[in-house]
Amino acid sequence: MSELETNATPDESIRVAGQPYEALPEDLYIPPDALRVFLEAFEGPLDLLLYLIRRQNLDILDIPVFTITQQYMAYIELMEDMAIELAGEYLLMAAMLAEIKSRMLLPKTEAAEEDEGDDPRSELIRRLAEYEQFKEAAENLGDCPRVGRDITPVQHEPVEMTIERPAPEPDLRKLLGALHDVLTRAELYSEHVIEREPLSVREHMSRILERLDSGEPMAFVALVSLDEGRAGVVVSFLAILELAREFLIAIEQTEPYAPVSLRRAGDFA
């Protein structure tokens, strides 16, 4: 009997088919590979290579191809021993590493260097650097909080609350202040409108001619109406000038400094 079976003690908290579990069954078979655990899971050959480089803190721009190839082949053999079905890309990467390794081991001549050009590892380094950038970006996105994983949305209907807001007491001073503000704003929009007074030069011309129909000369002051204000005096003066221009009236002065008088132009005979 094994050490586990000899040290086993009945535990009534563990039951099998309703009966307390006391000891391991004698016919229990445990396969040899049942307890082998493969902890790392890779998404492709580049992921496996990047894992090997990071584990040893190697410089991705100066990869020791010999060492990495040996470790890569060791992982491939381990996965084959565990009956893990390998994708063709893993085997393709193994062939690529073997080719780079062989090209690195071959002696180089000047003609060969001109034909080969760049380092045989350059294409692999480029692909690894690009994959590392995308992998870091994916890890950063994975660290962001996710709904359902890190955040659980909670929905709850708001509780209906009745808030009583007392009306403010009226204040006459505030009302007067509001009136002052309104009047101040009204002054900003006020404008000065100049209205045209209803005074016509033609009407004053007709009025003057009617007053001169008697044939007697009349003084200039008597023909001007002061009831219409300054504007009426100006319009009357313009009417007299217009009548004189059209030779309908005559402007007379008997002697120097004598009053100016007006008469109809047809009354000179």
Prediction pTM value: 0.38
C-alpha span between 8 and 67 (Å, rounded): 47
Q: Which residue has the higher pLDDT, 55 or 79?
A: 55
Backbone angles phi, psi at 11, to 5 degrees: -130, 110
Residue 11 pairs in a beta bridge with 21
C-alpha span between 75 and 81 (Å, rounded): 10
Is residue 23 pLDDT above 80, yes or no?
A: no
Is residue 119 pLDDT above 60, yes or no?
A: yes
C-alpha span between 201 and 209 (Å, rounded): 12
The domain limits of the chain are 45-106+117-143, 201-267
Mean pLDDT of the chain: 76
Query: pLDDT tens-digit profile of 150-160?
Result: 888 888 788 88
Backbone angles phi, psi at 228, to 5 degrees: -90, 5
Query: pLDDT tens-digit profile of 209-230?
Result: 888 888 788 887 787 777 777 8
pLDDT given for residue 152 in this prediction: 85
Residue 194 pairs in a beta bridge with none
Three-class SS state of 165:
coil
**CB proximity list for 94: less than 8 A, separation 6 or greater:** 45, 72, 73, 76
pLDDT given for residue 135 in this prediction: 86
Residues 91-109 have a mean pLDDT of 78
Is residue 259 pLDDT above 60, yes or no?
A: yes
Is residue 71 pLDDT above 80, yes or no?
A: yes
C-alpha span between 262 and 251 (Å, rounded): 5
Is residue 200 pLDDT above 80, yes or no?
A: yes
One-letter identity of residue 212: L
The CATH number of 201-267 is 1.10.10.580
Residue 240: in which H helix or E strand, if any?
helix 229-245
Pairing of strands 19-21, 218-219: unpaired
